[in-house]
Amino acid sequence: MLSIIGFITILTIVILLLKGRISPIIGLVLVPILGALVAGFGIAEIGGFFSEGIDRVINVVIMFIFAILFFGIMSDVGLFDPIINKMITISKGNVIAVAVGTVIIAAIAHLDGSGASTFLITIPALLPLYKRLNMSPYLLLLLVGTSASILNMLPWAGPLGRTAAVLGTDPTELWRPLIPLQIIGLVLLVGMAFILGLREKRRIAKQTETKDVYLQVAAAKELTVQDSHLQEKDQSLARPKLLWVNLLLTLGMIVMLVWGIIPAGFVFMIALSIALPLNYPKVSDQMDRIKAHASNALLMASIILAAGSFLGILSGTGMLDSIAVDMVKILPTFIIPYLHLIIGALGVPFELILNTDAYYFALLPVVEQIVTSYGVDTYSAAYAMIIGNIIGTFVSPFSPALWLALGLAGCEMGKHIRYSLLWVWGFSLVLLAVAIFIGIIGI
């Protein structure tokens, strides 16, 4: 009976999230409470489960709040602008160079872990260049989205934070083994961009006379920095004279995260406390910058806290254990030890039917509970599901940032999925194989 109630609880949350009937916070808080009450638990017991769940995620919440504030301020001061503008200047007039440059620019822009800000930075900067070279805006979306997905493995991005909340661990602990995979992934993506750029160049050559192509290239070379996102940005916030100081601060912070000598949340708290007075000496300016980025920080923090409540109740009532035990009885024995790999391999298609919260907060805990009972390492199970799914983040209609990107690029969701899905899915399978080969995922 407990399994049935737990399954209905999870299914209800997934369906409500998919239909957009409720926000993730409401679904993750209220539905598990109702499930626990139906299962016969009292309010006092449910309160205890809530406290246990919150204890598991509080460190993740602290890290998210200060990480989003820190990287938001680094974006305000213009830390990433010189690199992005240089890449745009270098790649002008060459279709293949533009495709490769798009990958690098998107990776730099996504260092803050926010999909929305990444698209706001990259698409207005690169779209005029794509148009002048007659390149497809869907190629722009594919390359920016895939590059951002690789950087989405950062601990202050959503997927690792959600996974850490589920496993009750520190996001930086999850991230460290993924660093080599991120580097390999970016190298492979540059190679894919080269191939796609070559294909795009041939497509343009077929559709346009050679003379017109040369005219477009000449026009592209005349494109000035005015086409950049900097034109849209409030220049009063930029601190070009402090560029190197901010860069050293950011690099030092990343080193501390990798070293792991102090908690990630404390690292970001210290970095933010240095960055604010360094760049904005006036207290009023400091508060304005915090207010500007507080909405993003609090939104993610509130979702993680709600997820802590959800997981605390499902774990405390024994629903997750019961579901895992009963599913093991139903599934063929030979499949169970590889269930995480099967789900990981289907991770990108799952993005079309499950949103991020449903995948990580509903599916991941159940699969992890099942495979670990057969001797599979908890982290291997989590990595298989993260790597298989994360590359498909920006082909999902459930990604709000993708709708923003489509609006900025003037593209349609259906055409974007048709253009990108096979490339993204294939890339995720390659990364999954690489992760197995280098030992991130054990078999």
Does position 422 have pLDDT exceeding 60, yes or no?
Answer: yes
- Cα 429 → chain centroid: 17
Position with higher pLDDT, 336 vs 30 = 30
- pLDDT recorded at residue 208: 67
Residue 212 belongs to some domain of the structure: yes
- pLDDT recorded at residue 428: 95
Does position 18 have pLDDT exceeding 60, yes or no?
Answer: yes
- Cα 365 → chain centroid: 19
- pLDDT recorded at residue 324: 65
What's the chain's average pLDDT? 83
- pLDDT recorded at residue 248: 93
CB 121 within 8 A of CB 229: yes
- pLDDT recorded at residue 231: 44
User: Mean pLDDT across the stretch 286-305?
Assistant: 86
Residue 386 belongs to some domain of the structure: yes
Please tell me the distance from the alpha carbon of residue 10 to that of residue 369, in angstroms, as a whole number.
15
- For the chain, counts of helices (H) and of strands (E): 22, 0
Residue 392 belongs to some domain of the structure: yes
Number of domains in the chain: 1
Please tell me the distance from the alpha carbon of residue 243 to that of residue 80, in angstroms, as a whole number.
9
Whole-angstrom CA distances from 329 to 57, 82, 181 are 31, 58, 35
pLDDT band at 354 (very low <50, low <70, confident <90, very high): low
- pLDDT recorded at residue 335: 84
Residues of the domain holding 185:
2-437
Does position 210 have pLDDT exceeding 50, yes or no?
Answer: no
* Structure token pair of residue 40: 């016969």
Residue 340 belongs to some domain of the structure: yes
CB 155 within 8 A of CB 415: no
pLDDT digits (tens, 9 = 90+) for 146-195: 999 999 998 887 788 888 888 888 888 889 999 999 999 999 999 999 99
Does position 237 have pLDDT exceeding 60, yes or no?
Answer: yes
- pLDDT recorded at residue 192: 96
pLDDT band at 144 (very low <50, low <70, confident <90, very high): very high
Residue 306 belongs to some domain of the structure: yes
Residue 442 belongs to some domain of the structure: no
- pLDDT recorded at residue 406: 84
| Share above pLDDT 90 across residues of the chain, in percent, rounded to a whole number | 30
Does position 226 have pLDDT exceeding 60, yes or no?
Answer: no
CB 229 within 8 A of CB 120: yes
Please tell me the distance from the alpha carbon of residue 101 to that of residue 183, in angstroms, as a whole number.
16
Please tell me the distance from the alpha carbon of residue 265 to that of residue 283, in angstroms, as a whole number.
23
pLDDT band at 234 (very low <50, low <70, confident <90, very high): low
Which of 19-33, 58-72, 116-130 has the weakest average pLDDT? 116-130
User: Mean pLDDT across the stretch 280-287?
Assistant: 93
State which of 48-57, 94-103, 331-340, 420-429 shows the largest mean pLDDT: 420-429
Whole-angstrom CA distances from 249 to 22, 190, 273 are 40, 28, 11
The predicted model scores a pTM of 0.70
Residue 279 belongs to some domain of the structure: yes
* Structure token pair of residue 83: 């690199």
- pLDDT recorded at residue 229: 44
Please tell me the distance from the alpha carbon of residue 63 to that of residue 116, in angstroms, as a whole number.
19
Please tell me the distance from the alpha carbon of residue 178 to that of residue 171, in angstroms, as a whole number.
11
User: Mean pLDDT across the stretch 48-71?
Assistant: 84
Cα dihedral: 217, 223, 225, 226 (round 10):
-150
User: Mean pLDDT across the stretch 71-77?
Assistant: 85
Determine if residue 154 is left, alpha or beta; phi over 0 gives left, psi from -120 to 50 gives alpha, anything else beta: beta
Instruction: Compute the Cα dihedral for 431, 433, 434, 435 and give only its sign.
Output: positive
Output the DSSP codes for 126-178: HHHHHHHTT--HHHHHHHHHHHHHHHTTSTTSHHHHHHHHHHTS-HHHHHGGG
Closest CA to 278 of 252, 299, 314: 252
- pLDDT recorded at residue 225: 43
pLDDT digits (tens, 9 = 90+) for 363-408: 888 888 888 888 889 999 999 999 998 998 888 876 767 877 887 7
Residue 286 belongs to some domain of the structure: yes
- pLDDT recorded at residue 89: 74
- pLDDT recorded at residue 68: 80
Burial of 338 (0-12, 13-18, 19+ CB in 10 A): middle
In 3-state terms, what secondary structure has residue 376?
Answer: coil
pLDDT band at 355 (very low <50, low <70, confident <90, very high): low
